């Protein structure tokens, strides 16, 4: 027996959080009856319908993509721009785990496993996101400390775990800064630098948890190994055991 929201998420239809919303909104039926109770458990014999359509079990697929610039992090785009899903030839309904801006490049995971996505998107100490930012101007120790102590963006305090000045170009008045964060709010890194007086000119995500780009060129992808998938699920166990 498994929780209803988990079964819906595992069908590849949507994330677990969205599945919970669908349940509380009365859009889910089990064996023909509307169910709004979140803790409801179902077995593989139960017929589950979402918005009047039965859900099907889908084979889980997991990918890592080196996202290029000028590509949108979504499954479809109303302006017919290229999306991250277009890079991966699969019939599965995969979707990106979290977001990268249109002009941001680097590590992006895609899957049809709602629980896997949730573990990586949920802000916790085990899932670090490492970015390399090219910013205008030369950052000083005082501003680096501010980013580490915490800055306010969109009425919320966020902080960097680590900030390292990697390279300085005096002539162009720019520098390269590596910044590590745990959350993944919209435009977070750009807004954090803005809060201490810098514009981000280029941004690349180098790492999410233990996933990095290794030999993947821009636009290239690979499937995750079963071992890598298991390591992600182990992160949740660690978090729950605290």
Q: Where are the domains of the chain?
A: 2-54, 62-123+210-225, 129-208
**Structure confidence at residue 143 (pLDDT):** 98
Mean pLDDT of 120-148: 93
Share of the chain above pLDDT 90, in %: 76
Extract the tokens encoding 139: 């950052």
pLDDT digits 0-9 by tens, 37-46: 998 999 878 9
CATH class assigned to 2-54: alpha beta
Is 66 a residue whose pLDDT tops 80? yes
Q: What is the pTM of this model?
A: 0.79
Is 1 a residue whose pLDDT tops 90? no
**Structure confidence at residue 238 (pLDDT):** 63
Residues assigned a catalytic role: 101
Distance CA 30, CA 23 (A): 10
> Per CATH, the architecture of 62-123+210-225 is what?
2-Layer Sandwich (3.30)
**Structure confidence at residue 58 (pLDDT):** 75
Distance CA 29, CA 35 (A): 6
Rg for the chain (alpha carbons), in Å? 20
Higher pLDDT, 234 or 123: 234
Mean pLDDT of 180-202: 94
CATH numeric code, 129-208: 3.30.2350.10
**Structure confidence at residue 183 (pLDDT):** 85
Is 241 a residue whose pLDDT tops 60? no
């Amino acid at each position: 027996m498994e929780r209803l929201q988990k079964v819906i998420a595992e069908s590849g239809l949507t994330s677990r959080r969205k599945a919970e919303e669908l349940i509380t909104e009365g859009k889910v039926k089990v064996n023909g009856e509307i169910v709004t109770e979140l803790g409801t458990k179902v077995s593989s014999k139960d017929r589950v319908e979402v918005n009047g359509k039965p859900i099907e079990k889908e084979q889980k697929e997991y990918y890592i993509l080196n996202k290029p610039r000028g590509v949108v992090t979504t499954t479809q785009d109303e302006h017919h721009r290229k999306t991250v899903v277009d890079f991966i030839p699969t019939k599965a309904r995969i979707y990106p785990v979290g977001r990268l801006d249109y002009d941001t490049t680097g590590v992006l995971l895609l899957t049809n496993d709602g629980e896997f996505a949730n573990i990586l998107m949920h802000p916790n100490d085990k899932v670090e996101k490492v970015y390399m930012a090219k910013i205008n101007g030369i950052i000083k120790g005082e501003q680096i400390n501010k980013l580490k102590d915490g800055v306010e963006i969109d009425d919320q305090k966020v902080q960097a775990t680590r900030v390292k000045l990697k390279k300085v170009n005096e002539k162009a008045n720019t520098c390269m800064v590596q910044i590590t964060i745990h959350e993944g709010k919209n435009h977070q890194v750009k807004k954090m630098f803005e809060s201490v007086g810098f514009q981000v000119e280029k941004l690349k995500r180098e790492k999410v948890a233990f996933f990095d780009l290794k030999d993947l060129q821009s636009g290239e992808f690979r499937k995750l190994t079963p071992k890598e998938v298991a390591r992600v699920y182990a992160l949740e166990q660690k978090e729950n055991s605290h």
